[in-house]
Chain A
């Protein structure tokens, strides 16, 4: 809805003070399912270059600056040596990073990720979150996730939606406390958070 893909049933959503459609270029989006069309004959660099569509461009082919920018985005996610590979040759985690690069290509102010680690092994998940943490220094990142324990480790604000919306601001101390105890079950976790956020 923030992206204007689905219309709202009630109420209004504004991004940067305007309707979402107007500010699409300021928001980068990484979809949940990045395993679509894995047989498609397309090079990684071309997938990333798709992030540019809609901005100024030459009539034919790709401009040099666009390719430089796309390579830069790939370097940010640590995938630059794969730029000439076919999309189907990558693993799920690598493909996820390519999709993040595609979103970064448009220089977004906000990056939205839908279940970024849903189909990735634990090592891959760690890498993705480390990457997001690094990116978070410059841009706002919104992650939609059901995996509370891993999100807690990296996020600084959490919005929990379960019929009603609960907002948590995590400070460093709380995070350390949570990390010490390792993995939490959801209910336990929310009892702690409830106590803290009131």
Chain B
């Protein structure tokens, strides 16, 4: 186990795992309290189109995926703000179109197409140095934005109508939350893949929500839980030679079940 740490790709994987866990803890909290989980799912799947485009044109994965993710976030934000009742239809549509575009682009690409499964289920072991820089940049900007604009973001998330009355630019902050979600979805895809990304953005956050009094605390706790699950998942995937993305999610799910059982027992005890 210890000798594994001397491999550079294992080191990168661990650093990337922790960086992404912290980002997804912060942004995941915003996604959960804003009830945007389905929206984030839509963004994740739409970004597959961007992955396809990146493979087709031969530019970096993050660039293509971010492009599609941010565009879809902007579209979703404008639909949510203007036609709230139609949101689910449009997200479903973008979800499918994005996936279809991705498939078509990859079909059109001649020659070797890389390991497609890695985008669906993550490829944390292939994280490069430039990927790490991208993640660090995202983490720093996320922390800066959320700390400096905490009150606005809190107000918009908690009570959007009241925030509007207090003169906050509600449209701007709502869109900002979605764009940040899109960017963190993209880095999370690298770690656990686009199919499993929702689990990373919800399981640790759900546990943290139950234990927190404030949004700030929820973000910190989510980041910690998420990091623990990711590292544990990586260790297990190394020992038993199974896919890292799937083992991270399964570890999270097991911890969630234990947490729920613990809560239930505590509740029963209180009643007695």
Binding site for B on A (CB under 8 A): 3, 5, 24-25, 29, 31, 36-37, 39-43, 46-47, 49-51, 53-54, 57, 59-60, 84, 86, 102, 106
List, in ascending order, chain A residues with CB within 8 A of B158's CB. 37, 40, 42, 47, 50
List, in ascending order, chain A residues with CB within 8 A of B218's CB. 41
Task: Give CA–CA (A18, B147) in the complex, Å.
Answer: 35
Q: A46-B154, A53-B151 in contact; A41/B166 too (CB < 8 A)? A: no
Contact yes or no, A57 B151, CB < 8 A: yes
Contact yes or no, A31 B214, CB < 8 A: no
Partner of A54, one of B159, B167, B213: B167
Contact yes or no, A51 B166, CB < 8 A: yes
List, in ascending order, chain B residues with CB within 8 A of A57's CB. 151
User: Besides A37-B159, A53-B166, 16 other CB < 8 A contacts?
Assistant: A24-B166, A31-B159, A31-B161, A40-B33, A41-B33, A41-B212, A41-B218, A42-B154, A42-B213, A47-B158, A50-B166, A53-B155, A53-B163, A53-B168, A60-B147, A86-B213
Interface residues as binary, B159-172 with A (CB distance below 8 Å gives 1, 0 otherwise): 10111111110000
Partner of A36, one of B148, B152, B159, B209: B159
Contact yes or no, B213 A84, CB < 8 A: yes
| SS class, residues of chain A in contact with chain B | loop
Contact yes or no, B165 A3, CB < 8 A: yes
- B79 at interface, CB cutoff 8 A: no
Interface residues as binary, B217-235 with A (CB distance below 8 Å gives 1, 0 otherwise): 1100000000000000000
Binding site for A on B (CB under 8 A): 33, 147-148, 151-152, 154-155, 157-159, 161-168, 209, 212-215, 217-218
Task: Give CA–CA (A34, B151) in the complex, Å.
Answer: 20
Contact yes or no, A39 B209, CB < 8 A: yes
8 closest A-B pairs by beta carbon, nearest first, are A54-B167, A53-B166, A41-B212, A54-B166, A41-B218, A50-B155, A86-B213, A43-B213
Task: Give CA–CA (A84, B161) in the complex, Å.
Answer: 24
Task: Give CA–CA (A86, B167) in the complex, Å.
Answer: 25
Task: Give CA–CA (A31, B155) in the complex, Å.
Answer: 15
Contact yes or no, B215 A42, CB < 8 A: yes
Report the minimum CB–CB distance from B176 to chain A (whole Å).
Answer: 16
List, in ascending order, chain B residues with CB within 8 A of A42's CB. 154, 158, 213-215
Task: Give CA–CA (A50, B152) in the complex, Å.
Answer: 9
Report the minimum CB–CB distance from A142 to chain B (whole Å).
Answer: 15
Partner of B168, one of A29, A41, A54: A54
Partner of B214, one of A39, A43, A54: A43
List, in ascending order, chain B residues with CB within 8 A of A29's CB. 162, 165
Which residue of the partner chain B has the closest CB to A51?
Answer: B166
Contact yes or no, B166 A46, CB < 8 A: no
Task: Give CA–CA (A49, B151) in the complex, Å.
Answer: 9
Which residue of the partner chain B has the closest CB to A89?
Answer: B213
Q: List 10 A-B contacts (CB under 8 A).
A: A29-B162, A41-B209, A42-B213, A47-B158, A50-B154, A50-B155, A50-B162, A50-B166, A53-B166, A54-B166
Contact yes or no, B214 A46, CB < 8 A: yes
Task: Give CA–CA (A49, B154) in the complex, Å.
Answer: 11
Which residue of the partner chain A has the closest CB to B211?
Answer: A41
Task: Give CA–CA (A60, B143) in the complex, Å.
Answer: 12
Tell which of A36, A47, A53 has the most Cβ of chain B within 10 Å.
Answer: A53
Contact yes or no, A59 B148, CB < 8 A: yes
Contact yes or no, A50 B159, CB < 8 A: yes
Report the minimum CB–CB distance from A48 to chain B (whole Å).
Answer: 12
List, in ascending order, chain B residues with CB within 8 A of A3's CB. 165
List, in ascending order, chain B residues with CB within 8 A of A50's CB. 151, 154-155, 158-159, 162-163, 166
Task: Give CA–CA (A51, B168) in the complex, Å.
Answer: 12
Report the minimum CB–CB distance from A44 to chain B (whole Å).
Answer: 10
List, in ascending order, chain B residues with CB within 8 A of A25's CB. 167
Task: Give CA–CA (A60, B145) in the complex, Å.
Answer: 11
Report the minimum CB–CB distance from A98 to chain B (whole Å).
Answer: 12
Tell which of B159, B164, B215 has the most Cβ of chain A within 10 Å.
Answer: B159
Task: Give CA–CA (A82, B33) in the complex, Å.
Answer: 22
List, in ascending order, chain A residues with CB within 8 A of B152's CB. 53
